[in-house]
Amino acid sequence: MTGDWGPDRVGDLVALTDAALPAERLSADELTRCLWDDPADAAVLGDAGAGAVAVVVRHSVGYLRLLVVAPERQGSGLGRELLEAGEAWLRDRGVNQIQAGAEAPFYLWPGVPIEATEALALLESAGYEDSGAAFDMVCPTDLRIDAPVGVQVRLVSDPEAVRPLVDREWPWWWDEVARAIELGTCVGAFSAEGTVLGFGCHSVNRAGWLGPIGTDPAAGRRGIGGALMAGLCADMRERGHTETEICWIGPIGFYAKACGARISRVFQYRVKKTS
């Protein structure tokens, strides 16, 4: 039934997601970057133009990245067949559990959107248990917050300008930060002496989505986080985004207070043991 799709089939996948998930507006670049550019062991298994499942193995854990079925085939059992094909592919690689959500650094969503009733029902019936939730927030990109005196916020072109801070505080974010620098969507906050005080990224996996972002703990409570947010928003506005989705939120209170952001989406994590 299912065949292994290479990146030459991204047009078929765009057509599928446009039909089944029109609100997501997934582009060929986003799908290619998240599903095929990942150097980890990954696959996209598709059934003609009817549906597809994307899976990946990372650190002995299998992740379900995408499961999409054409509207005319929904309710036919194809979704379960695709899910089982993805699970079989992962089991063949010896994973000890399969997760839907909490998969970084290449991901299309932080988890399963809670509005995806059919997908959540399918996962539940297949033995996937609820293991938590994640939030996104949204704010307009006309946000303007001045940088503190003596701090400059600018686009980053040299990875070494921010790598010492990322490696010290958030090494698991480096892959995303490096991709943002390559895409020209990373900003950094620097002291007058050139010391990195913080960084922020946007459009790493999804266009117009913000994150990761971090401020040196030693430089906290100086307004650097807000200035980084403003710098990112200004760059996104220049690129045509009137609002940004702040992905995989940590401190809800900071974004609500500093940026006027509001929770826009909720995602569930789902986990299934394979042994």
Residue-wise pLDDT tens digits, 242-274: 999 999 987 899 899 989 999 999 999 999 998
Second CATH level (architecture) for the domain 3-131: 3-Layer(aba) Sandwich (3.40)
pLDDT at residue 45 in the model: 96
pLDDT at residue 159 in the model: 98
Query: Looking at the predicted structure, is the pLDDT value of residue 1 above 60?
Result: no
Contact 199, 166 (CB under 8 A): yes
Paired tokens of 37 = 């550019």
* pTM exceeding the 0.75 threshold for the entire prediction: yes
pLDDT at residue 22 in the model: 96
pLDDT in tens, 172-219: 999 999 999 999 999 999 999 999 999 999 999 999 999 999 999 999
pLDDT at residue 258 in the model: 86
The pLDDT confidence band at residue 72, using thresholds 50, 70 and 90, is: very high
pLDDT at residue 2 in the model: 63
pLDDT at residue 239 in the model: 97
pLDDT in tens, 98-112: 999 888 999 999 999
For the segment 118-130, the average pLDDT, to the nearest whole number, is 96
Range(s) of the chain covered by CATH 3.40.630.30: 3-131, 142-241
pLDDT at residue 251 in the model: 83
pLDDT in tens, 2-52: 689 999 999 999 999 999 999 999 999 999 999 999 999 999 999 888 999
Tell me if the domain spanning 142-241 has CATH number 3.40.630.30: yes
Question: What share of the chain has pLDDT > 90, as a percent?
Answer: 91
Query: Looking at the predicted structure, is the pLDDT value of residue 139 above 90?
Result: yes
Query: Looking at the predicted structure, is the pLDDT value of residue 237 above 60?
Result: yes
